[in-house]
Amino acid sequence: MKVVAYFQLNEVRWAIPERDLAELRHQFPSVRLVSLEDDAHLADELVDADAFAGWHFPAQHFGAAKRLRWIHSASAGIEANLFADLIASDVILTNSAGLHVVSIPEHVLATMLVLARNFPIAFRLQQEKRWERFEIIAGNGGIRELAGSKLAILGVGAIGRSLTNKATALGMHVRVLRRNPDRAVPGAEQVVGHEGLHELLRWADFVVLAVPLTSETRHLIGTAELQAMRSDAFLINIARGEVVDERALIESLRAGAIAGAGLDVFATEPLPPESPLWELPNVVLTPHVSGYTPDYFGKMLAIFRDNLGRFSAGERMRNVVDKRLGYVADSE
């Protein structure tokens, strides 16, 4: 069996370290593991590959990869892998869901605290060397506490469940939206389906987007949804930029229709310099780093190693994506 590993995507470039390669080859002597550091030989190596591990499989080479049976995504997001030929095929797609159960919920909590304590105003005053306590205390709807606040989480995969646990531990009231509202979420006081979205948005102080990007969730938050939110509520997006209608969000932020936003993902990445989001005073902006963890690739490699053993033995694999739904169905 042949496995091709290729982890190159924009500015993120990584290759399996020699030590890990040696361990994998020792553990799986019947597997020929080819690790590539550039795409010069990628097309040739994929022709007879049985499996592929990387950010996403290059769709232009899919037709020639006649032996391909399994693709493993190095990230939890797999929308780039969901091209028509793959969806229609019998090729198994797995992802690295579970990598972010600490980093992303902690990033969300940090963002909520920054917004709740009016740190954006404090940062601006610091740059201006101005001592204005009242501007921080009363600005942008005033300082608030997370304890007792209402948190709506849209999407309860591994990240949403972890955030629920952490938020309830801080005394927050948590309600969640999921595809199947009949499935309870430990710690959440209520679970609603899509038909209850607007009511959930009207209830929340903080709205966190943790859904996968699918045809159903693209522009899940648009003008009507932003209008449903309270003017003192915050929107936090750590899902995908396309889940939000960015133009509608900018208009809402400019008008003060919502109190502010914490954004880690954007419709276009890198975010263009001309985007108004850079300079809006009620936005906390980070460059798609919420999922970063110091041992990201080590954790990803552990999932891949486990699944390689399962795949080799013909056993049920972890994190199998429902290619029609666009996510790991067991998690939702």
| pLDDT, tens digit, 9 for 90 and up, residues 127-162 | 999 999 999 999 988 999 999 999 999 999 999 999
Average pLDDT over residues 75-100: 95
Average pLDDT over residues 91-119: 97
Average pLDDT over residues 80-105: 96
Average pLDDT over residues 185-214: 97
pLDDT score at 199: 98
Residue among 88, 90, 79, 28 nearest 57 (CA) = 79
Angle at CA of residue 209, ends 284 and 101, nearest 5°: 95
Average pLDDT over residues 166-182: 97
Residue among 75, 17, 53, 9 nearest 292 (CA) = 75
Exactly one of 288, 305, 310, 332 is catalytic; name it: 288
Exactly one of 189, 216, 269, 315 is catalytic; name it: 269
Q: Name the pLDDT band for 12 (thresholds 50, 70, 90).
A: confident
Q: Name the pLDDT band for 7 (thresholds 50, 70, 90).
A: very high
pLDDT score at 140: 87
Pairing type for strands 2-9 and 12-14 reads antiparallel
pLDDT score at 78: 93
Q: Is 176 helix (H, G, I), strand (E, B) or coil?
A: strand
- Count of residues making up the chain: 332
pLDDT score at 331: 57
Predicted confidence (pLDDT) at residue 65 exceeds the cutoff of 90:
yes
Share the mean pLDDT of the chain.
96
- How many beta carbons lie within 10 A of that of residue 24, not counting itself? 19
Q: Is 269 helix (H, G, I), strand (E, B) or coil?
A: coil
Predicted confidence (pLDDT) at residue 332 exceeds the cutoff of 60:
no
Pairing type for strands 190-192 and 206-209 reads unpaired
Query: Cα dihedral sign for 17, 22, 24, 30?
Result: positive
From CA 72, how far away is CA 75, in angstroms rounded?
Answer: 9
Share of the chain above pLDDT 70, in %: 99
Q: Name the pLDDT band for 13 (thresholds 50, 70, 90).
A: confident
Report pLDDT digits (tens) over 250-294.
Answer: 999 999 999 999 999 999 999 999 999 999 999 999 999 999 999
pLDDT score at 52: 98
* Contact by Cβ (8 Å): 284, 120: yes
- Is there a catalytic annotation at residue 305? no
- Is there a catalytic annotation at residue 269? yes
User: How far apart are the two ends of the chain, measured CA to CA in Å?
Assistant: 32
Q: Name the pLDDT band for 11 (thresholds 50, 70, 90).
A: confident
Predicted confidence (pLDDT) at residue 304 exceeds the cutoff of 60:
yes
Exactly one of 72, 107, 240, 318 is catalytic; name it: 240
- How many beta carbons lie within 10 A of that of residue 39, not counting itself? 12
- Is there a catalytic annotation at residue 288? yes
Residues pairing with 235 in the sheet: 207, 261
